[in-house]
Structure 1
Amino acid sequence: MEPGRVVGFLWVIGMVLSLAGGGGAAAAEKGVTYDGRSLIIDGQRKLLFSGSIHYPRSTPQMWPSLIAKAKAGGVDVIETYVFWNLHEPKPGQYDFSGRNDLVKFIKEVQSQGLYLCLRIGPFIEAEWNYGGFPFWLRDIPGIVYRTDNEPFKFYMQNFTTKIVDLMKSEGLYASQGGPIILSQIENEYGNVEEAFREQGAAYVRWAGKMAVGLQTGVPWIMCKQPDAPDPVINTCNGMRCGETFTGPNSPDKPKMWTENWPSFFQVFGGEPYIRSAEDIAFHVALFVAKNGSYVNYYMYHGGTNFGRTTSSYFITGYYDQSPLDEYGLLRQPKYGHLKELHLAIKSVAEPLLQGKQTFLSLGSLQEGYVFEDATSGCVAFLVNNNAKAATVTFRNNAYQLRPKSIGILQNCATMIFETARVNVAKNIRATTRVQLFDAEDKWTTVTESVPRFSDTSFRANALLEHTNMTKDTTDYLWYTTRFDSKSACMNPVLHIESLGHVVHAFVNNVRAGSGHGSRDIKVVKMDVPIQLTSGPNYISILSAMVGLPDSGPFLEKKSFGPTKVQVDCSGTMKYDLTRSKWGYQVGLVGEKARMQDKNKVNKAKSLKWNKNGVVLKNQPLTWYKQTTFGTPKGDDPVVLNLTTMGKGEVWVNGQSIGRYWVSFLTPSGHPSQALYHIPRAFLKEGGNLLVMFEEEGGDPLGISLNTVSVIGPNQQRSPSQFVR
């Protein structure tokens, strides 16, 4: 097929592509095609900057502002995943309401004059619970995810078709005059393909053929997929794709970067990853200099992982160090420096897209990339790979380059941008306390009872796998057994091993100890001294998950929860309880009673709120309720400071703002996250309902309501100020 291949159905009578001199595609009436240089939209080659914004990680009220700020930052395209487990929580039952309103989000992008890249997946990874798969998928007989497996392919194709048909029905593809210029099938499958051997390669071919067969009228992409079948474009993910990407697998495909990470995700117990504006700009400029024509920032705005949506161990704030932070505030100088870069590159887009590229060696660690055409002009990228400053001579002119920097020369003479030169001042994020919840008479509390074996109705002579029991409807599963020691047990120690994330052990209703893993430590092992009575003893274990994994092959086979329980007596005798008779309770009583819901909480029969003023501090398994806090004035983002709490989940007016885990400290001794975002859309004028479930024990009297602002530049400047 000729360069500039037609991908799917286009509203085009005819198309003629001219590639003389390495550029110049003739006009097509409507639609998206591509050649070896770039995407071609409505007949015009495009050099595009894109930013990922995920609709469920913010609120519909936030979308217009986030998209407008991205556009003002020089972004042409908004990228988003499609979240299968949100949209199809049960087979055949779909939800596109509220934060799940994908169509509304795309139409907002369209209304602001931007394009959209729709990454359907439907496996997305994304640090999202189960990589976006609905948990019911695991119960399909004979299913194996992401391979040449008929049950999986059936459901994958069914959901992909559902999304494509929805987009078509709303006229959202560029071939229909809509904003969607790209679609993605699968996601970073190259990371796991080898595990499936020949079935992996067969699956890649099937996925590409299936997607193209849906005839969207726009190209399909696969990221991190060197064997993406024609006409699907293989793209790069990473921080240095100008250095690491070997390129598309055909000279007829453009060079695209679908995930440029301006920071990185963060887990509980982990420090934030700080990537400088200079480093990001260097690698973007290098990618463009090496014929790259599409760069997407993952994330441009990360947002918030509300509810139980994160994958294993991830904090609620997502990619907070992006150009737009978790709350949508500008993070300077990152935002402004990249804005200047985008403007500089767009000012020389014509020779970049139409000119012939020439490579020059300008020193041992210096090089140049020149794009020149008789009609479009000339642009040069001078690269200093040295960690020291360098003087580069180009066309009889000397140019000073900072360490690890790229200079962009308009007309191959005037330096209009240098990646290591930052002209935007740094801003600082600040919080302002609005209210301290230190009034005991405003709180009510209630504690969950520890279930005993006699309280359970479902029993088995084994430690059953956690998620088989819960179906991911809750983080929590109780395991409880009755233990009678046949002889004196001196200095008893309870030994537990678990594949779950958190374990709380109770002996005769008294908390004996807790343990947890981490993203790097997969097995929880704990040994806690206990006290046994001469009669029957009751051992209860609360197993807790902190999200399901989002990556790796054979996700459907992953197991969680306790795998070994025994009582050691002074090292001389062991009672192995692993295959004792265990009773099970799925979830918490308070969850079933919907303690977070003001309208239903009074219907709970087994849990009753204490009277106001009875605050149980540092008490595990405790629910807390506060009904008197108001909505802060203004439009600054609102957060809860939960520094005095331990681990649990928090709801505002019945909506979960996510899991918190402030007791899991970083190596430097600080919580990975102490501030938890409350979108203003969750708040009401007058009184708001705050409900928390605390697993470990905390002090709610130290919680505060705060607003967030920035000190320093948080406004967009006029474009004329960005060209030097």
Structure 2
Amino acid sequence: MKNTIEIAGKDILINGVATQIRSGAMHYFRIHPDYWRDRLMKLKQCGLNTVETYFAWNFHEPREGEYDFSGWRDVVSFIKLAQELGLMVIARPGPFICSEWDFGGIPSWLLSKPPMRIRCMNPVWLEAVDRYFATILPMLHGLQWTQGGPIIMMQIDNEYGSVGNDVEYIRHLYQLHIDAGFDIPMFISDSISSTTALSGGIPETLLTGNGRRRPVNFLNTIQALRPGVPEIVMELWSGVSHKWTQSGWLTHDPEDVRVDVESLMERKASFNFYMFHGGTSFGYYPGAVSDGSKYLPYLNSYDTDAPLDEAGNPTEKYFIIQSVIKKHCPEAFTEEPKLIPARDFGRVNLAESAPLLENLQLLGRSVDSVTAEPMEYYGQDFGFILYSTDLSYLPRRICSLKLENLADRAQVFVDGVSYGTIYRNDASQSIQVPTGKIQILVENMGRFNSGMGVHMHFWKGLTGVVMDGCRRLYHWTVTPLPFDDLSALPFGSLVSQGNMPCFHRGVFEVDEPADTWLRVPYGRKGQVWLNGFNLGRYWQEGPQYALYVPAPLLKQGRNELVILELHGLRGEPIVELIDHYDRAPSIALPLN
């Protein structure tokens, strides 16, 4: 008999039976594939019957027209594994996902295509979007519930009504799914109001709500807008994301979550925890947000104070949710989840070093550029970029350099000497330096992933440099530095580099791989690679002081660790592998 899913008034009928969807969000791209089964099983053991996941477009099409759905990117295998474990799936393929992920999942190579305007009926944007969906929808078609697969619902874009009003665009995306043979319910999710519903929804899609605390209020709003439709909280925010330089580690009171879940279970409404397990935004993938005046980049940790922590272990919230579900739904499957222990592997001595500026030609290909342009102009997506120009033809004197549209953090060197750092949040974007050979190293710390209605400048690097307030500087040598491959670096004996950027390398032995946490106790700011894998950044500003290392990234036997320290180590050249997270003290999320 063919599987069916139908909307009958407020009921979601799955194979003819009114079903409450109890879902949790976890993203395949934030979990090592060796741990997919563990995390999915723990979701089921909590009493949930559905897993929800975004699809990160930029994770699958890092270069235009070059798609990758293998290994860690094999979302089809993730979905099939969920089905094997008896879970239904809610798919949210984008093209925009927000999710505190770089550019909301949009590939940054699109920024090199003028006149690019994202998330609307702009022809240049639509060409790329249509090609993406023409690739991914056929892969998902046979995984629909009605085709014998586990996918019961699909989302159209994400929280669109909060940032735009191109309903024609939403209808275009909807029609792509219909033309591809999708016959399962489709929905929009947003902070529900009449404005967001009218700006970002169409009658053919279900309305679902996002938020925390008193979620029944979202449902009441949905009923006022569309009486008699299913009640679904698509994002029940059970935690909070974290940003660099924030004071403390924000937490969401578990008792608040208990109250929210109780209210939804009593109402027999469907819901999806965002996040149930956050995982990790490895490498350069964390996004950024603005508070209206400041740029706020997200951490690599996407722990989000979720029911399952970053390492996949249950928190107090997990057991609260499990008990509330069991109370209202005794037939729900629940089970004690298995803990994953972490190990302390001790210290790793960083016995070798390689200065960055002395090894540029081994790390990136330089190009001559009349003007200083953003990294996307040079075909670069992530990492660092170096702008060099020679002012030594001028008399030796102090001059002022203003960096235009700095994104995000620059170190300025003259004749191989550091003269300071400028961050895009600084009140002044100028620096006083002597004339000479100028080098400006810019770090991309993540593109905006939200606020798409107001942000228009998503490019990274610089758009120009002005000297003494009046003279634009031309003729640059630009070196993109994504640091995708560090194997050519000629490491030698450790030599102090002062406050200059320098790579440091250490090796260590592992008898049996296990989860661990990596911290650079005397680091100021930098990036970490383990066995060639980009773990992410560290910054003494906090609030994250240790990076999560899943066991599958370690090798039995010899392991190699490389860090890029941007400002010189403050003490011993060591890295520590510890058995616990290290972060700023917890502070409670303020009440709304």
Q: Same fold (TM over 0.5)?
A: yes
Aligned to 2:16: 43
Name the SS of the counterpart of 1:433 in structure 2: coil
Tell whether the 8 Å contact from 2:521 to 2:574 is kept in structure 1 after alignment. yes
Aligned to 1:525: 428
Tell whether the 8 Å contact from 1:451 to 1:480 is kept in structure 2 after alignment. no
Q: Which runs of 5+ in 2 are unaligned?
A: 191-195, 289-296, 583-592
Q: Partner amino acid for 2:563?
A: M
* 1:583-594 equivalences in 2 (<5 Å): 583-588=476-481, 591=483, 594=485
Which whole-Å deviations, capped at 9, do the CAs of 1:137-165 have from their partners, x for residues lacking one? 33445442111223323332332242221
Shift of 1:555: 6.4
Tell whether the 8 Å contact from 2:367 to 2:479 is kept in structure 1 after alignment. no
C-alpha distance 479-576 of structure 1, shift in aligned 2 (>3 A): farther
1:78 correspondence with 2:54? no
Tell whether the 8 Å contact from 1:36 to 1:255 is kept in structure 2 after alignment. no
Aligned to 2:443: 544
Name the SS of the counterpart of 1:172 in structure 2: coil
Q: Partner amino acid for 1:687?
A: R
C-alpha distance 616-430 of structure 1, shift in aligned 2 (>3 A): farther
1:501 correspondence with 2:408? yes
Match of 2:538 among 630, 642, 661: 661
C-alpha distance 247-618 of structure 1, shift in aligned 2 (>3 A): farther
Tell whether the 8 Å contact from 2:352 to 2:492 is kept in structure 1 after alignment. yes
Shift of 1:348: 9.8
C-alpha distance 631-82 of structure 1, shift in aligned 2 (>3 A): farther
Aligned to 2:310: 326
Shift of 1:493: 5.5
Tell whether the 8 Å contact from 2:407 to 2:443 is kept in structure 1 after alignment. yes
Aligned to 2:26: 53
Aligned to 1:277: 254
Aligned to 2:101: 128
Tell whether the 8 Å contact from 2:418 to 2:499 is kept in structure 1 after alignment. no
C-alpha distance 700-217 of structure 1, shift in aligned 2 (>3 A): farther
C-alpha distance 591-348 of structure 1, shift in aligned 2 (>3 A): closer
Aligned to 2:588: none
**Root-mean-square deviation over aligned CA pairs:** 3.0
TM-score normalised by L of structure 2 = 0.86
CA distance in 2, matches of 1:264, 1:553: 22
1:511 correspondence with 2:421? no
Tell whether the 8 Å contact from 2:236 to 2:271 is kept in structure 1 after alignment. yes
Tell whether the 8 Å contact from 2:307 to 2:317 is kept in structure 1 after alignment. yes
Number of equivalences:
552
1:345 correspondence with 2:328? yes
Aligned to 1:463: 372
Match of 1:449 among 357, 381, 385: 357
CA distance in 2, matches of 1:116, 1:429: 25
Q: Which runs of 5+ in 1 are unaligned?
A: 1-10, 12-28, 195-199, 350-423, 568-573, 596-600, 666-670, 711-724
CA distance in 2, matches of 1:487, 1:575: 18
Shift of 1:492: 5.4
Tell whether the 8 Å contact from 1:640 to 1:706 is kept in structure 2 after alignment. yes
Shift of 1:685: 0.7
CA distance in 2, matches of 1:554, 1:209: 27
1:436 correspondence with 2:318? no
CA distance in 2, matches of 1:292, 1:187: 25
Choose 124-133 or 312-321, whichever is displaced more.
312-321
Shift of 1:619: 4.2
C-alpha distance 618-181 of structure 1, shift in aligned 2 (>3 A): farther
1:317 correspondence with 2:189? no
Aligned to 2:562: 691
Tell whether the 8 Å contact from 1:617 to 1:700 is kept in structure 2 after alignment. no
1:175 correspondence with 2:150? no
Tell whether the 8 Å contact from 1:31 to 1:217 is kept in structure 2 after alignment. no
CA distance in 1, matches of 2:581, 2:543: 20
* 1:338-487 equivalences in 2 (<5 Å): 338-347=321-330, 433-438=344-349, 443-449=351-357, 457-460=367-370, 462-472=371-381, 474-483=382-391
Q: Between the two proteins, what is the percent identity of the paired residues?
A: 26
CA distance in 2, matches of 1:255, 1:630: 51
TM-score normalised by L of structure 1 = 0.71
Aligned to 2:552: 681
Q: Partner amino acid for 1:265?
A: S
CA distance in 2, matches of 1:180, 1:697: 50
Tell whether the 8 Å contact from 1:122 to 1:133 is kept in structure 2 after alignment. yes
1:610 correspondence with 2:576? no
Greater C-alpha radius of gyration = 1
CA distance in 1, matches of 2:134, 2:367: 42
